[in-house]
Amino acid sequence: MEFLSDFFVAPIMEMVDAPEFLAEVIIAGLMSGVMYSLVGLGFVLIFKASGIFNFAQGVMVLFAALNFVGLMDSGVHPIIAFIATVVIMTVLAMAIERVVLRRLVNQNQLILFMSTIGIAFFLEGFGELIWGGNVRPLDIGIPDDVVFIANGTILIQEADLFAGATAALLVTILALGFRYTAVGRALRAVADDHQAALSIGIPLNNIWVIVWAVAGFVALVAGIMWGTKLGVQFSISIVALKALPVLILGGFTSIPGAIIGGLIIGAGEKVAEVYWGSLFGGAIEEWFAYIVALLFLLFRPQGLFGEKIIDRV
Amino acid sequence: MAENLLTVENITLRFGGVKALTDVSFDILKGEIRAIIGPNGAGKSSMLNCINGFYHPQEGRITYKGQTRKQMRPYEAASQGIARTFQNIALFRGMSVLDNVMTGRVLKMKSSLLEQAFYFGRARSEEISHRSKVEEVIDFLEINAIRKTPVGRLPYGLQKRVELARALAAEPELLLLDEPMAGMNVEEKEDMSRFILNVNAEFGTTIALIEHDMGVVMDLSDRVVVLNYGEKLADGTPDVVRSNQAVIDAYLGASH
Ligand SMILES: Nc1ncnc2c1ncn2[C@@H]1O[C@H](COP(=O)(O)OP(=O)(O)OP(=O)(O)O)[C@@H](O)[C@H]1O
Ligand SMILES: [Mg+2]
């Protein structure tokens, strides 16, 4: 009885008593959620266009951030470092297409998935070889003041606002690009029907390069945000694995799903940690996302926005 | 004597132990409507799939526009002017009719997709120049009223028509139609027949057509090739094929 009351009643009372605090917790959660969203977005792009589950997406975040911070540390201006890293990620996309994907075309999905595990290990090792294995602090001059909103009752980090705005901008640009350009149309075509896309002569190889390059770009943005908060370190690629539950929640083929799924997981795990954490001895944050994912797998396997899974008969 | 557009010679295609096609040869002349008929599982779709490069036959040769190959690749086939529709409609379901038809222009774009991804201005002006051809196709197939509709919401008959529009947008030399009238009612079939004849007459497009409805086949096609269990059974004008004893036996033997 007492546990039930601790579980169901007490946390809600706390929330009602101090709504400003709840708001702050949610906002902090949304911040990490943005990161999950961006990693998830990279996954979805590649999955939609090629059916490949890209295990290396998390490591791409790390790799992009490493290159960026490494260049900056050697005295390159942030903007130049950013452009150079975009170029590096594009070249990487071309290399992956040439060396891996082109050779494995028509292989089954498991083999392609395995190849991305290979890519992940390669990138991690290669990144460490070039830039070393130390944690590198990253400062691109984002203001780290706090601002108060709602009559000064809610406190927000400016850096969080900045991150949120950047992510929103990125997603908007991608969405517009998908909808209104010929390349976007070709990408949607490939995602919709592979065979039909081939039959009208959409060059799949180019499509792969484009989606991997875009996924690399998204990874860079995520890496920079993460890096400014936590420093660029190898654990980034592990935290990025949280994108998996995000995708289960949002659906593997839905871009809005990845975004909203990331935000829900981010906010949810923070709220769970703060209000329910003590009941479970803390560290709920570590596994909350996976429990949510499990529940979704049981009751709604296509996710919130994924296409309904219907077997063709 | 019309020029030869496509010749398939001694095509054999196996899937593991299953022989989908055995030593099939025939040709398609420029400007003709060539029907491919045969009972279910005869290998008709497999033949089209070999021609546009989805399937790679183990044996045989394909000569298209004077160039002989063992097999095609889909990209190659498309860029050489081969367009097609599918037995099970393969449209881009999430997109509008207009967008679907626009995708048909992808190979006519002067800048490659890669260039367009990184160079925006040119892409815009290209887009506009392709619109007029797409509008022409949309008018031609009388789908103007549904141009903005997502194709997933259209009835089956119209989806088939949109699929034809997408193929036509590529201005193909050889158009492969896999059962374009399957599942249509009489009226829709008449419309589709009229469109196919008009495409052939007005654009001079060569058409290879798979169809089960014998009435339609007899009306539309210049020549017919008959497949049965992966082998060629007969080849000739509709009249000749219709009175061929082997064909009659195959059709009476098969359940329809
Ligand atoms: N991708 C494939 N894998 C394995 N077997 C296949 C494949 N495609 C076709 N087949 C087999 O090849 C044979 C011919 O099939 P195909 O689809 O070409 O026949 P069809 O004449 O088009 O028949 P229908 O009138 O039913 O469309 C069938 O036995 C079929 O099962
Ligand atoms: Mg068929």
Strand order in the sheet with B18-29: B18-29, B4-15, B59-64, B67-69
Angle at CA of residue B18, ends B17 and B19, nearest 5°: 115
pLDDT in tens, B59-96: 999 999 999 988 888 999 999 999 999 999 999 988 99
B102: in domain: yes
* Interchain pair A186, B103: CB under 8 A: yes
Residues of A with CB below 8 A from B120's CB? 181
Question: Domains in chain B: how many in total?
Answer: 2
Distance from C-alpha of B26 to C-alpha of A27, rounded to nearest angstrom: 69
Q: What percent of chain B has pLDDT over 70?
A: 91
Question: B125 and B76 in one domain?
Answer: no
- Split at pLDDT 50, 70, 90, the class of B112 is low
Residue B199, exposed/middle/buried by CB under 10 A (0-12, 13-18, 19+)? buried
In total, the C-beta contacts within 8 angstroms joining chain A to chain B are 92
pLDDT in tens, A29-86: 998 888 899 999 999 999 988 888 899 999 999 999 999 999 999 999 999 999 999 9
The answer to whether residue B122 neighbours chain A at the CB level (below 8 Å) is no
pLDDT for the residue A296: 86
pLDDT for the residue B80: 94
B199: in domain: no
pLDDT for the residue A105: 77
Question: B66 and B42 in one domain?
Answer: yes
Question: B251 and B127 in one domain?
Answer: no
Which residues does ligand 1 sit against, CB inside 6 Å? B 15, 18, 20, 38, 40-46, 87
The answer to whether residue B170 neighbours chain A at the CB level (below 8 Å) is yes
Residues of A with CB below 8 A from B137's CB? none
B15: in domain: yes
pLDDT in tens, B139-184: 999 999 999 999 999 999 999 999 999 999 999 999 999 999 988 9
Q: Give Cβ neighbours of residue A275 (< 8 Å, ≥ 6 apart).
A: A11, A14, A15
Which ligand is closest to the CA of B51, given by its number?
1
What's the token pair of residue B101?
């038809």
The answer to whether residue B54 neighbours chain A at the CB level (below 8 Å) is yes
3-state DSSP assignment of residue B38: coil
Range of the domain at B70: 1-81+172-190+205-256
pLDDT for the residue B111: 66
* pLDDT averaged over every residue in chain A: 87
pLDDT for the residue A312: 47
pLDDT for the residue B71: 81
Please compute the mean of the pLDDT values over residues B9-27 and round it to a whole number: 95
Centre a 10 Å sphere on the Cβ of residue A23 and count the other Cβ atoms it contains: 17
* pLDDT averaged over every residue in chain B: 90
**What secondary structure does DSSP assign to A128-141, as a single string?**
HHHH-SS-B-----
pLDDT for the residue B164: 96
DSSP E strand stretches across A48-181: 146-149, 154-157
Question: B109 and B226 in one domain?
Answer: no
B197: in domain: no
**Contact criterion met (CB below 8 Å) for A234 and A62:** yes
Question: B186 and B67 in one domain?
Answer: yes
Nearest ligand 1 atom to alpha carbon B230: 14
Please compute the mean of the pLDDT values over residues B14-37 and round it to a whole number: 95
pLDDT in tens, B196-241: 999 999 999 999 999 998 889 999 999 999 999 999 999 999 999 9
Instruction: Please tell me the distance between residue A253's alpha carbon and the centre of ligand 2 in angstroms.
Output: 29
More confident residue, A93 or A279: A93
pLDDT for the residue B119: 62
Instruction: Please tell me the distance between residue B45's alpha carbon and the centre of ligand 1 in angstroms.
Output: 7
Query: CA nearest B120 in A: which residue?
Result: A181
Partner residue facing B103 (CB), from A189, A207, A209 = A189
Residues of A with CB below 8 A from B52's CB? 199
Question: B177 and B76 in one domain?
Answer: yes
Which CATH number does the domain A2-299 belong to among 1.20.1070, 3.30.70, 1.10.3470, 2.30.30? Answer: 1.10.3470
Residues of B with CB below 8 A from A189's CB? 92, 95, 103
Query: CA nearest A210 in B: which residue?
Result: B114
Query: What was the ipTM of the complex prediction?
Result: 0.85
Question: B76 and B23 in one domain?
Answer: yes
Which ligand is closest to the CA of B47, given by its number?
1
Residue A205 has pLDDT above 90, yes or no: no
Question: B179 and B77 in one domain?
Answer: yes
Residues of B with CB below 8 A from A48's CB? none
Question: B57 and B41 in one domain?
Answer: yes
Please compute the mean of the pLDDT values over residues A122-127 and round it to a whole number: 94
pLDDT for the residue A313: 46
* Interchain pair B106, A206: CB under 8 A: no
B27: in domain: yes
Burial A242-274 (b: 16+ CB within 10 A, else e): bbbbbbbbbbbbbbbbbbbbbbbbbbbbbbbbb
Residue B256 has pLDDT above 70, yes or no: no
Q: Which of A295-309, B26-40, B180-194 has the lowest mean pLDDT?
A: A295-309
- Residues of A near B (CB-CB distance < 8 A)? 181-183, 185-186, 188-189, 192-193, 195-204, 206-207, 209-210, 213
**Smallest CA–CA separation between A268 and chain B, in Å?**
31
Q: Of all protein residues, whose CA lies closest to atom 28 belonging to ligand 1?
A: B41
Distance from C-alpha of A98 to C-alpha of A167, rounded to nearest angstrom: 30
Q: Give Cβ neighbours of residue A191 (< 8 Å, ≥ 6 apart).
A: A48, A49, A253
**Smallest CA–CA separation between A59 and chain B, in Å?**
25
Question: B185 and B76 in one domain?
Answer: yes
pLDDT in tens, A158-191: 888 888 888 889 988 988 888 888 888 898 898 8
B195: in domain: no
Question: B252 and B182 in one domain?
Answer: yes
CATH number of the domain at B77, please: 3.40.50.300
Q: What percent of chain A has pLDDT over 90?
A: 35
Distance from C-alpha of A8 to C-alpha of A119, rounded to nearest angstrom: 45
* Interchain pair B114, A193: CB under 8 A: no
Please compute the mean of the pLDDT values over residues A186-212 and round it to a whole number: 90
CA B191 vs. chain centroid, Å, equals 17
pLDDT for the residue A310: 53
Question: B63 and B130 in one domain?
Answer: no
